[in-house]
Amino acid sequence: MTDTIIFLDRDTTDRGDLDFSRLDSLGNLLSYGVTGPGETASRIENAEIILTNKVVIGAEEMDAARNLKLIQVVATGINNIDVDAARDRSLAVCNVSGYSTESVAQHVFASLLNLETNVHRFAAEPKKWAESPIFTRLDYPISELAGKTIGIVGYGSIGQAVARIAKAFGMEVVAFSRTGQTTWGEVPRLAADEFFEKADVVTLHCPLTPDTKNFINQETLSKMKDSAILINTGRGDLVHEEDLVAALKNGTIRGAAVDVLTPEPPTPDHPFLKAELENLFITPHTAWSSREARQRLLDGIVANIEAFRKGQKRNRVD
């Protein structure tokens, strides 16, 4: 079967280091690095299969692609697809999940270790070592993870991977209780007040829902230790960004690492960028993007397309 497969924003996934041979074998693959809003309709008019990471596919775009059969999201989130419109037109919509678990968990600790050891600041100043009056430099504080408590909000696959690594560092692991009740087990699930009071590190891995939007705010930050660190590799809107800036400035908590902002990319006047805080570690939504994770994502897309052609439902969200 020879389908026309249009990848609308390949640059969001590929930096020239992935194996596309299996995807290439599935049809006539045409890739665009990025696609602007006004370019989508003309680019997909002959597509049977659309691949999109962030390009919006709504009813208008679907109607422009007269041969369209499958919309494949090159990610887990599907907020850029009008799923109701796809369902009305009997179009299949697939996503891919679970591909970035190890990459995100690794990034959590890369960020945490930078904040705990200040290795990024030392490494950026090699010439200052030559100016030191002693054999080392003690300019920035260094702390150990062993003996500290990490509090995980969202104890799914990524949260559990984080817990596994934390235990290897000698950390105690607790999870946030969604029920509001404390329960004891191998990983205690603590009610909100107890959770925030106990955790030396709070790391966010829960989905963004109306209930979790601005989950971290002035009230929850005030319950945390003044020595605590917050890590967000989930969604930008889990954190009230102005409240976090204020908490970092006034010492309510010690530090934070964020890999996700609202919006993305951020505007030049974004609160985090304007603040220029030494205790705020910012990365540009890279936690998910190890080469291995991106290859797993691509392989998952191939498996979805192959299943679709066999009449099987794999990762269908329509």
Could you check whether 3-99+291-309 and 101-282 share the same CATH topology? Answer: yes
pLDDT greater than 80 at residue 126? yes
Q: Which of 46, 43, 51, 66 is nearest to 3 (CA)?
A: 46
Q: What is the pLDDT of residue 1?
A: 63
Mean pLDDT of 78-100: 97
Mean pLDDT of 161-173: 98
Mean pLDDT of 37-47: 96
Mean pLDDT of 129-155: 97
Superfamily of domain 3-99+291-309: NAD(P)-binding Rossmann-like Domain (3.40.50.720)
Indicate the average pLDDT of the chain: 97
* Catalytic residue of the set 39, 144, 219, 264: 264
Amino acid at 48: E
Q: How confident is the model at residue 267 (pLDDT cuts 50, 70, 90)?
A: very high
pLDDT greater than 90 at residue 28? yes
Domain segments of the chain as ranges = 3-99+291-309, 101-282
Mean pLDDT of 254-283: 97
Residue, of 107 and 184, whose pLDDT is higher:
107
* Catalytic residue of the set 235, 240, 254, 294: 235
Amino acid at 196: F
Task: Give the pTM.
Answer: 0.94
Burial of 70 (0-12, 13-18, 19+ CB in 10 A): buried
Q: How far apart are CA 78 and CA 97, in angstroms?
A: 11
Which DSSP state fits 131?
Answer: T
* Catalytic residue of the set 89, 137, 285, 309: 285
264 is catalytic: yes
Q: Give, in degrees to the nearest 5, the angle at Cα 295 between 292 and 298.
A: 155
Distances (CA, A) of 187 to 91, 173, 299: 42, 6, 33
What sign does the CA torsion over 209, 262, 175, 283 have?
positive
For a pLDDT cut of 70, what percent of the chain falls above it?
100
Domain 101-282 in this protein, CATH class: alpha beta
Mean pLDDT of 175-197: 94
Q: Quick count: other Cβ atoms within 10 Å of Cβ 131?
A: 8
Q: How confident is the model at residue 268 (pLDDT cuts 50, 70, 90)?
A: very high
Q: What is the pLDDT of residue 2?
A: 87
Q: How confident is the model at residue 37 (pLDDT cuts 50, 70, 90)?
A: confident
Q: What is the pLDDT of residue 87?
A: 98
pLDDT greater than 80 at residue 307? yes
Distances (CA, A) of 163 to 112, 160, 213, 292: 14, 5, 23, 21
Mean pLDDT of 292-297: 98
Q: How far apart are CA 7 and CA 13, in angstroms?
A: 10
233-242 pLDDT, tens digit each: 999 999 999 9
285 is catalytic: yes
Cα 212–chain centre separation: 15
pLDDT greater than 80 at residue 149? yes
